[in-house]
Structure 1
Amino acid sequence: MEVSVVWHLDLGRGADSMGYMVEEIWQALARAKYLEWEQASSKRSWELQSLKEACEAALEEKYVLDISRAEESSDEATTNHLRHMEALREVFSKAAEADTPNEVPDYLCCKITLDIFRDPVITPSGLTYERAVILEHLQKVIVCFWWVTLIQSQGKPLDQSQLIPNLAIKEAVHAFLDKHGWAYKTS
């Protein structure tokens, strides 16, 4: 479904890459994907917590059995029990990481908006920006030296035709979003 959604979003863009409709479509898709992730995440969290509690209970029972059978010294049984409990906590903590909101890596975000890329493009200078943002700035008269430097290519103003889709970053964003659905959350 992800490829189909992206394809339709690209199709919906048509000639206007900054179109109002494209932003609305992105926002609706992001909201739906976030809600889908949130529901699945809640279910996974509940299942993980139930499994963790069952494992902890089983380890407690094993500990009690080990102490009662006196197969090991009390100190050795306690040390093993604590080691197993810590390992269990680490395993479940690691399992929950994908569902724990964190920061989106910088290389997946536009340097202007600081938002995750939707339609990244490469400028002739080799930098990647969000297409709609760079096109918006190309349409404005820019006085600020930083922007002039940003949008120039070898001393010449940047033209829209020089923007090349950054497919590698786009794929990296999709892979990241597939694994970290929380990143779909928009304000």
Structure 2
Amino acid sequence: MAADGGVARQAELRRIEGNACFYKARFGAAIDCYTEAIALCPDVAVYWMNRGLCHFRRKDWAKVEEDSRKALALDDTLVKGHYMLGCALLRKEECALAIKELEKALDLLKSSNSRDKMAEDIWEVLAKAKYLDWEKHSTQRVWKIQNLKEACENALQEHHFLSGTLTEDSVGPTNEYSEQRKLLSEVFTNAILADTPGDVPDYLCCQITFEIFRDPVITPSGVTYERAILLEHLRKVGNFDPVTREPLKEHQLVPNLAIKEAVQAYLKEHSWAYRSN
């Protein structure tokens, strides 16, 4: 037991030395220290996390993924582990897997009731991942819809031809065929428009940033803002509502759950709206 304790203390000293190197941006030296700590105590998740963070700063994404996975295998509650793994997966354009990891990171922050600034960093990468995922699948959907439209038009034409309401010698289609073809065109046009980028409704956007809400809060004056942006205003500009100029303190802010639910519903149907973030 004494030997085990000595090894653990030695590993911890290497971690502390690594931290000192990290804060001086000496990432290579920090990696060496964390690697030694891992060799001594491979079952300590934070050693893998710290080394992964060095690789993160170096943008060595393959090693970020490797160390993050090792850390999470030991402790699945590491917010930074899921965040860094999500970033690494996004670099590989594995958007769906990246989204899963980033959402797990946000869920862990919410469950801990943390107001950590890291939530903003996670949301920014998550928004990018969701937009890229939409962009990738949107192109595929439009192509499939167009092919399906052509198949339906051909089937409709064949149906009228076989039923005798449309012949090869006809100068033009019958009224019934014309109306059905027009209706068919409208259906497919609406299907494409539903997945086409447009303007996000004003009531879903912050009046300061004009971007879609992430964490909306309402003031006693009845104005809704993005929490992080409003808190920054209170700290740097003054304790007053930016729009009404009424006195305002942080403890007076109340989450606007109705708007938050509306945003979530809108984003679920219009993933392209993540683009503005």
TM-score of the pair, normalised by structure 2: 0.56
SS of 1:84's equivalent in the other structure is helix
* 247, 252, 257: which one aligns with 1:162: 252
Percent of aligned positions with the same letter in both sequences?
52
SS of 2:174's equivalent in the other structure is helix
Q: Is the 8 A contact 1:13 1:22 kept in 2?
A: no
Residue equivalent to 1:106: 202
* 1:30-51 Cα shifts (integer Å, max 9, x gaps): 0111122222222221221111
**Superposition RMSD in Å:** 3.0
Larger Rg over CA atoms: 2
How many Å separate the matches in 2 of 1:146 and 1:135? 11
Alignment of 1:37-186 (within 5 A): 37-65=134-162, 66=164, 67-68=166-167, 77-142=173-238, 147=242, 150-152=244-246, 157-186=247-276
Q: Is the 8 A contact 1:63 1:77 kept in 2?
A: no
Q: Is the 8 A contact 1:120 1:130 kept in 2?
A: yes
- 1:177 CA drift (Å): 0.3
The 1:103–1:140 alpha-carbon spacing in structure 2 relative to 1, beyond 3 Å, is same
How many Å separate the matches in 2 of 1:14 and 1:77? 65
Unaligned runs of 5+ in 1: none
SS of 2:191's equivalent in the other structure is helix
SS of 1:129's equivalent in the other structure is strand
Q: Is the 8 A contact 1:12 1:22 kept in 2?
A: no
SS of 2:225's equivalent in the other structure is strand
Residue equivalent to 1:14: 114
TM-score of the pair, normalised by structure 1: 0.80
- 1:99 CA drift (Å): 0.6
SS of 2:194's equivalent in the other structure is helix
The 1:3–1:25 alpha-carbon spacing in structure 2 relative to 1, beyond 3 Å, is closer
Count of residue pairs the alignment pairs up: 175
- 1:64 CA drift (Å): 3.3
- 1:146 CA drift (Å): 8.2
- 1:134 CA drift (Å): 1.0
Q: Is the 8 A contact 2:211 2:276 kept in 1?
A: no
Ranges of 4+ aligned residues in structure 1 off by more than 6 Å: none
Q: Is the 8 A contact 2:106 2:119 kept in 1?
A: no
